Amino acid sequence: MMNTNLQYVKSEGIGKITFYHPQSNSLPGNLLRELAALIIEAGADESVRVIILQSAGDKAFCAGASFDELIAIDSFEKGKYFFSGFADVINAIRLVPKFVLGRVQGKAVGGGVGIAAAVDYCLATENASVKLSELAVGIGPFVVGPAVERKMGLSAFQTLAIHATEWKDAHWASKNGLFAKVCADIPALDLEVHKLAKILADSNPEAMRELKKIAWNAYAHWDTLLYERAEISGRLVLSDFTRNAINSFKAK
């Protein structure tokens, strides 16, 4: 399956999903929903035993929410709908009965950090700095927060959420549990991702399914929690503070 912004290829039991956006792989609402649907599709594909989730290019992994779309939101309903897209992606990763490996080749911001936190196992390069920038534009990492806190703990999540303009490098992210392994560069990252994916593709699918079920057993309430969090962001994005902050960021 391939279109302008999404690609899904399969080989030897490995399903590889790649997303792309010309603005540093940011995620507009339609792409979020297509990505969530594709993750579910890969999860149901009997020929696939493990999923790799990655973005295109050799720079940013994901710039998070699309500023152009954020500034165009003019109602609470549209705001909630947009932020629910991140909930859809996180819950899709949670619900598929296969391990999802994250390949983070560059910087991750906001929702990009949320995706890196939601995958079952994440590998990155030394260029993969992270930042939860939402508070700097008057919102907050409400939807992605549960995924980040689950993976990194409350202390690290609060550090990222409060220092919204400060980058944390890949080794800090690894030390705090976001990245399982940090590689020197993209070729080394691809080698490690493929090596692990091949091992898992050759492993017992039933055993992996049960392991994933155990790992996510306590998070069924995300079916409602993440959408409740989307309501908070959907309300705050309408504020004058947020609109002015987003316009200031776009003007830089």
The tens digit of pLDDT for each residue in 196-237 reads 999 999 999 999 999 999 999 999 999 999 999 999 999 999
The verdict on residue 222 lying in a domain is no
The verdict on residue 57 lying in a domain is yes
pLDDT (tens digit, 9 = 90+) per residue, 72-110? Answer: 999 999 999 999 999 999 999 999 999 999 999 999 999
The verdict on residue 156 lying in a domain is yes
The verdict on residue 207 lying in a domain is no
The verdict on residue 206 lying in a domain is no
The verdict on residue 247 lying in a domain is no
Helix (H) or strand (E) holding 101, with range, is strand 99-104
The verdict on residue 38 lying in a domain is yes
Choice between 229 and 2, residue whose per-residue pLDDT is larger: 229
Residue 251's pLDDT is 72
Q: Which domain holds residue 52?
A: 6-201
Across 16-35, average pLDDT:
96
Reported as a pLDDT band with limits 50, 70 and 90, residue 3 is low
Tell me, what amino acid is at 41? E
Domain CATH code at residue 123 = 3.90.226.10
- What's the DSSP call for residue 122? E
Domain count, the chain: 1
Residue 2's pLDDT is 43
CB 233 within 8 A of CB 143: yes
Residue 224, token pair as written in the block? 């409602």
